[in-house]
Structure 1
C-alpha cells in the first residue's frame, strides 16, 4: 500500500504537481505521529 502511494507520488512529482507536494507533507506529518493500535494491527496483518 505504501509502495503504491510512493509510486503515485513519484509520477505526480515528475509532473511538478503541487498537490503531490502537499500529499508528501501530509505523509511526513502522519509518519511523525505514533501509530494507533488499529494501524499497528493493520500493518502486522499486511506483513503476515
Structure 2
C-alpha cells in the first residue's frame, strides 16, 4: 500500500506571507486616509 501522508514538496505556499498582507493593507488604508484629508483641506476644484 502506498504512503498517503502529504509531501512537503506538493504543498503549495501562499503567494504572500501574513506580514506582507498586513503591510499592504496598512499601506492601502494610510493612502486612503491621506487622500481623504487632502479632499477636506484642498477643495479648490469644487
TMscore range, shorter length: 0.3 to 0.5
Higher relative contact order (CA 8 A, sep 6+): 1
Computing the radius of gyration over CA atoms, which structure comes out larger, 1 or 2? 2
TM-score, normalising length: structure 1: 0.37
TM-score, normalising length: structure 2: 0.38
Higher relative helix content: 1
